[in-house]
Amino acid sequence: MLVSAQAHRFAHRLLAARANANRIPPLSQEAPLSFADAYEIARNILDIRIAQGETMVGRKIGFTNRTIWSKYGVAEPIDRPIWAPIYDSTVRYAVDNHAVQSLKGAVQPRIEPEIVFKLGATPAPGASLVEVSECIEWMAHGYEIVVSPFPNWKFNAVDAIAAFGLHGLLIVGEPKLLSSATRRNLAGVLANVSVSLSSGEADSFALRAAGFGSDVLDSPVHALWHLHKVLQEQPQFPPLAAGEIICTGTLTDAYPVERGQTWATAFSGVTLPGLTVSFV
């Protein structure tokens, strides 16, 4: 177990790398880190960012897509979801489902199409899948821009947890308010969702990937439920609460993005509009 001074030192190292857009070796190369150690570093980062004036507005869940687990992890493939706080400074809302986003300061940025929820109620500690689903006020399509301070995106799961869950920015599209009936059936509906992800420059677009809701721990609602249960075992962090924004994990692999590119999505199986973002 890390001593508090070492966790604090690692936290400041990661914050400095983020502020200066630097790359650093994975922390796990310097010291053997457990998952508990990684979340202790994350807790330090949360405290520092709040002290600096940021507000936690929700969470991101990472590595919920089982189809990409084998592509990540140096010591061994990543085989479980992780989570990290998101902040008022890292969430923005697209206008008419279009956004222009600067990549200044983003280290090795990649794009992930995701389902985003806002909680309208606080789940009870032992809430079932359906009870958690009934706490969702709205859903939306979003892009998470993930970043990595670790060269060539090579890291272990503990490094990803400590490094903000690799969270850079969340761009949220048009929210869709949910009825009671929709909430009760949402897990099944989203399990059958598919998304296409395309990119290009000017008027030349090409399909890059397709993804499915069932790849995200069986459904994005299952991912939310998983996070709720994990947080019951982490008393050092606040549990899920009404008002939080939750991005549930990518529906496809994460793809590198560059200035001058435009990315767009289209959905089937659910009445969510696609989202277009141009990078500058």
pTM for the full model? 0.96
* Rounded Cα–Cα distance for residues 73 and 155 (Å): 6
pLDDT for the residue 42: 98
* Rounded Cα–Cα distance for residues 123 and 90 (Å): 24
Model confidence band, residue 125 (pLDDT cutoffs 50, 70, 90): very high
pLDDT digits (tens, 9 = 90+) for 110-124: 999 999 999 999 999
Domain ranges of the chain: 4-279
* Rounded Cα–Cα distance for residues 1 and 35 (Å): 10
Spell out where 37-163 has E strands: 56-62, 82-87, 91-93, 98-101, 110-119, 136-146
Model confidence band, residue 3 (pLDDT cutoffs 50, 70, 90): confident
pLDDT digits (tens, 9 = 90+) for 190-223: 999 999 999 998 778 899 999 999 999 999 999 9
* Rounded Cα–Cα distance for residues 279 and 100 (Å): 6
* Beta carbons of 195 and 265 less than 8 angstroms apart: yes
Burial 214-246 (b: 16+ CB within 10 A, else e): bbbbbbbbbbbbbbbebbeeeeebeebeeebbb
| Rounded average pLDDT over 216-232 | 98
pLDDT at 134 over 80: yes
4-279 topology per CATH: Fumarylacetoacetate hydrolase; domain 2 (3.90.850)
Q: What is the three-class DSSP state of 168?
A: strand
| Rounded average pLDDT over 136-145 | 98
Type of residue found at 262 = T
| Rounded average pLDDT over 237-266 | 97
pLDDT for the residue 205: 85
What spatial distance separates the first Cα and last Cα of the chain, rounded to whole Å?
42
pLDDT at 10 over 90: yes
Look up residue 35 and give its two tokens.
């998952």
* Beta carbons of 193 and 171 less than 8 angstroms apart: no
Of 112, 59, 121, 57, the residue nearest 246 (C-alpha): 59
Mean of per-residue pLDDT scores for the chain: 96
CA angle 252, 150, 154 (to 5 degrees): 60
In DSSP terms, 99 is beta-bridged to 277
pLDDT digits (tens, 9 = 90+) for 57-90: 999 999 999 999 999 998 888 989 999 999 999 9
* Beta carbons of 88 and 57 less than 8 angstroms apart: yes
Going from the C-alpha of 31 to that of each of 3, 56, 72, 216, 243, the distances in angstroms are 12, 28, 20, 31, 37
